[in-house]
Chain A
Amino acid sequence: MKKFILFYVGLFLLLGCEKKDCCTNLEPITVTLQFTHNWDGIPINSSDFNTFKFTTEHGEQISIERLRYLVSRIKIGDFEKNYQLINIGENTGLELVLAQIPQGNQFLKFTFGFTDADNIDGIYPDLNSTSFNVPMMMGGGYHFMQFDGKYKDSNNQNANFNYHAIRAVNASNPMNLILEDTSFEVEIGTFELSKNTAIEIKMNVAEWFKNPNLWDLNVLNTVLMPNFDAQKMMSENGRNVFDVGTISN
């Protein structure tokens, strides 16, 4: 009788161990997204602000003074984070930790800005608190990006620019705004995840002025929010802005 009991206890422990061994590989991991910024490969951080150290493709020297932007529906596998505000000048939001991500091949993507479904006026208290709103006369909702600075104009004088990306709006008839969703999806790629992983997501800031629309700051500098065509151009240029960088474990 005693032998039987020992046998079954041993069998139970053995099976228990086997089961545990088999499940170890399926334990979820943590993925950290690291948002970095560069100008055609030259790193940009807050210490690079407020000096004329970058030149656009069109040839204007610029000084970056404020750069914050929003990404939403950050999706890896079945996991989705609603949104993240990234502020380079204040060094906030640069890292996003996504916990409990299943192991295996996972596809990473996000939306630049808010899609129309998410771009609902005034509903995000944290974004309201940091004044990221778009007034209703320009369609409401939220900015996708506030990129402010100075450029050297054609007379080599300092001039201001406000490259603010929002949902495109044609407000020529204030009673009937024509809106167009200018957010866009950024597909970063598929990653084989077997342990905690950091994925660098690079923004090449120079691309906002480059491709496919060569941006002349002497022409398009301020009051771009209600400029329907300018918003479409920003959205088009934005498609080339993001890229995957270093993957580390």
Chain B
Amino acid sequence: MLKKLLFTISLFLFINCSSKEEELYLPITYNLEIPSLFSQKLIAPVIPANNPLTQEGVALGKKLFFEKLLSGDNSQSCASCHNPQNAFSDTNQFSNGIDGKKGIRNAMPLFNLAWNFDELFNWDGSEFSLENQAFEPIRNPIEMHATWKNVAKKLQNHPEYPTLFKLAFGTSTIDSVLITKAIAQFERTLISGNSKFDRFLRGETSLTPEEENGFNVFIDEAKGDCFHCHGSNNNPLWTDNQFHNNGLDTNISDLGLGAKTGDPADNGKFKSPSIRNLAFTAPYMHDGRFATLEEVINHYSEGLKPSITIDPLMKKVQQGGVQLTSKEKADLKAFLLTLSDFEFINNPDFRNR
């Protein structure tokens, strides 16, 4: 009798375990294609342990990035304001939300986000981690103006999404956490590292004399002195991912980082954007106030405005800036444009197909 009972229990456990094993689904690891200069020069990208990259997760994240169901009236996706052709930024100074409302900041370009080591995102550093950042625009009343409950419900009732979530995360129950995890996975794959200047550093091409001189203006402390905030050949991110007041205004209305930290010393500080892909990301600055690169260069050359929190790295503020010559300005622009990565903006993996 006892033997029979044990046999029955064992059989039950065996069958139970087997069926669970069948249910166990392991998504396939997604290996980031890290540019050689990045792996040589930089520390490893940030991939959270609770959201490893998988092929299924990245594919789902891409689909969600272009999915208009994520907005309140099904009219906008993330890509509506983060256009791949513009290095995932917006040509409008301020993006239009679904209700036609506009914000006060220019949409940031999206690339090399996994190398933002402090993980503070947005112009004002208001969100920690890519996953958290993705929460905000969907429920923001002047952006996609949806509720997470409704978005999850729409996706749950979609013919494809429950299966895609099952493949990516092992569950077909869709919620905001998994949606933002998938979007963050896709965003981490947006890597830009193959511009003309990258090829020059790899010894595959040469610069024109103007481009070379422009690079020298960029790294010369006595001229452009751009490298302290915007990287160099040894920091191919071309940003320090830190927050600076770069002398845009004497009277600061948009507090930037200061609004987040509550520290008046942070008022008017905004994240240094990467200077990669400037050819595609106009207008410039956190509020998109400059339409052209010439205006940006003129600002640092003679347009600086003093304020209490202006960064000490802004030189010759009382004279308006570093006083570049016309030739230096033109060459600096020529160099900046060598950081345009056409392969990135045309990458079919990053397009909606």
Instruction: Report whether chain A binds chain B.
Output: yes
User: Which residues of A are interface residues toward B (Cβ below 8 A)?
Assistant: 49-50, 65-66, 121-122, 125-126, 128-131, 133, 135-138, 146, 148-150, 157-162, 164, 222-223, 225-226
The answer on a CB contact under 8 Å between A131 and B228 is yes
Q: Is B219 an interface residue (CB 8 A)?
A: yes
The answer on a CB contact under 8 Å between A125 and B42 is yes
Q: Is B72 an interface residue (CB 8 A)?
A: no
The answer on a CB contact under 8 Å between B43 and A126 is yes
Q: Is B221 an interface residue (CB 8 A)?
A: yes
The answer on a CB contact under 8 Å between B315 and A66 is no
Q: How far is the CA of A128 from the CA of B306 in the complex (A)?
A: 30
Query: Which residues of the partner chain A approach B316 to less than 8 Å between Cβ atoms?
Result: 222
Known: A49-B265, A160-B312, A160-B313. A121 touches B222 (CB 8 A): no
The answer on a CB contact under 8 Å between B234 and A121 is yes
Which positions 225-251 of chain B face chain A at CB distance < 8 Å? 225, 227-229, 231-235, 237, 240
Q: How far is the CA of A148 from the CA of B312 in the complex (A)?
A: 6
Q: How far is the CA of A121 from the CA of B40 in the complex (A)?
A: 12
Known: A49-B265, A130-B240, A160-B317. A122 touches B234 (CB 8 A): yes
Query: Which residues of the partner chain B approach A133 to less than 8 Å between Cβ atoms?
Result: 227, 232, 234-235
Min C-beta distance of B243 to chain A, whole Å: 12
The answer on a CB contact under 8 Å between B235 and A162 is no
Known: A137-B219, A162-B312, A226-B221. A157 touches B318 (CB 8 A): yes
Query: Which residues of the partner chain A approach B220 to less than 8 Å between Cβ atoms?
Result: 135, 137, 226
The answer on a CB contact under 8 Å between A128 and B312 is no
Query: Which residues of the partner chain A approach B232 to less than 8 Å between Cβ atoms?
Result: 131, 133, 135
Min C-beta distance of A69 to chain B, whole Å: 15
Q: Is B153 an interface residue (CB 8 A)?
A: no
Interface of B is mostly: loop
Min C-beta distance of A135 to chain B, whole Å: 4
The residue among A128, A161, A162, A223 with the most chain B CB atoms within 10 A of its own CB is A128
Query: Which residues of the partner chain B approach A164 to less than 8 Å between Cβ atoms?
Result: 221
For residue A222, which residue of chain B has the nearest CB? Answer: B315
Q: Is B117 an interface residue (CB 8 A)?
A: yes
Query: Which residues of the partner chain A approach B233 to less than 8 Å between Cβ atoms?
Result: 122, 136
Q: How far is the CA of A158 from the CA of B311 in the complex (A)?
A: 12
Query: Which residues of the partner chain A approach B225 to less than 8 Å between Cβ atoms?
Result: 223
The answer on a CB contact under 8 Å between A148 and B313 is yes
What are 25 A-B contacts defined by CB distance under 8 Å? A50-B265, A65-B311, A65-B312, A122-B41, A125-B40, A125-B42, A125-B43, A129-B42, A129-B117, A131-B228, A131-B240, A133-B234, A133-B235, A135-B219, A135-B227, A136-B219, A136-B233, A148-B312, A158-B306, A160-B310, A160-B311, A162-B312, A222-B221, A223-B225, A226-B222
Min C-beta distance of A66 to chain B, whole Å: 7
Query: Which residues of the partner chain B approach A146 to less than 8 Å between Cβ atoms?
Result: 228
Report B298-323 CB contacts with A as 1/0, cut-off 8 Å.
00000000101111111111100000
The answer on a CB contact under 8 Å between A128 and B41 is yes
For residue B41, which residue of chain A has the nearest CB? Answer: A128
Known: A131-B228, A137-B220, A159-B318. A150 touches B312 (CB 8 A): yes
Query: Which residues of the partner chain B approach A150 to less than 8 Å between Cβ atoms?
Result: 312
Query: Which residues of the partner chain A approach B133 to less than 8 Å between Cβ atoms?
Result: none
Report B28-58 CB contacts with A as 1/0, cut-off 8 Å.
0000000000001111000000000000000
Q: Count residues of B near A (Cβ-Cβ below 8 Å).
A: 35
Min C-beta distance of A42 to chain B, whole Å: 19
Min C-beta distance of B36 to chain A, whole Å: 13
Q: Looking at the complex, which one of A129, A136, A158, A162 makes contact with B43 (CB distance below 8 Å)?
A: A129
Q: How far is the CA of A225 from the CA of B223 in the complex (A)?
A: 12
Q: Looking at the complex, which one of B228, B235, B309, B318 makes contact with A128 (CB distance below 8 Å)?
A: B235
Q: Is B216 an interface residue (CB 8 A)?
A: yes
Report B178-199 CB contacts with A as 1/0, cut-off 8 Å.
0000000000000000000000
Q: How far is the CA of A149 from the CA of B265 in the complex (A)?
A: 12
Q: How far is the CA of A65 from the CA of B312 in the complex (A)?
A: 8
Min C-beta distance of B339 to chain A, whole Å: 16
Q: Looking at the complex, which one of A129, A149, A223 makes contact with B312 (CB distance below 8 Å)?
A: A149
Query: Which residues of the partner chain B approach A122 to less than 8 Å between Cβ atoms?
Result: 41, 233-234
Q: How far is the CA of A130 from the CA of B272 in the complex (A)?
A: 13
Query: Which residues of the partner chain A approach B310 to less than 8 Å between Cβ atoms?
Result: 160
Query: Which residues of the partner chain B approach A222 to less than 8 Å between Cβ atoms?
Result: 221, 315-316
Query: Which residues of the partner chain B approach A148 to less than 8 Å between Cβ atoms?
Result: 311-313
Query: Which residues of the partner chain B approach A135 to less than 8 Å between Cβ atoms?
Result: 219-220, 227, 232
Query: Which residues of the partner chain B approach A149 to less than 8 Å between Cβ atoms?
Result: 312
Min C-beta distance of A177 to chain B, whole Å: 13
| Contacts beyond the supplied A149-B312, A157-B318, A160-B310: 6 A-B pairs with Cβ under 8 Å | A129-B42, A129-B115, A131-B229, A131-B231, A133-B227, A136-B219
The answer on a CB contact under 8 Å between A225 and B306 is no
Which positions 87-144 of chain B face chain A at CB distance < 8 Å? 115, 117
Q: How far is the CA of A126 from the CA of B237 in the complex (A)?
A: 13
Known: A128-B41, A129-B43. A223 touches B234 (CB 8 A): no
The residue among A66, A133, A225 with the most chain B CB atoms within 10 A of its own CB is A133
Q: Looking at the complex, which one of B40, B216, B237, B314 makes contact with A160 (CB distance below 8 Å)?
A: B314
For residue B317, which residue of chain A has the nearest CB? Answer: A160
Report B275-306 CB contacts with A as 1/0, cut-off 8 Å.
00000000000000000000000000000001
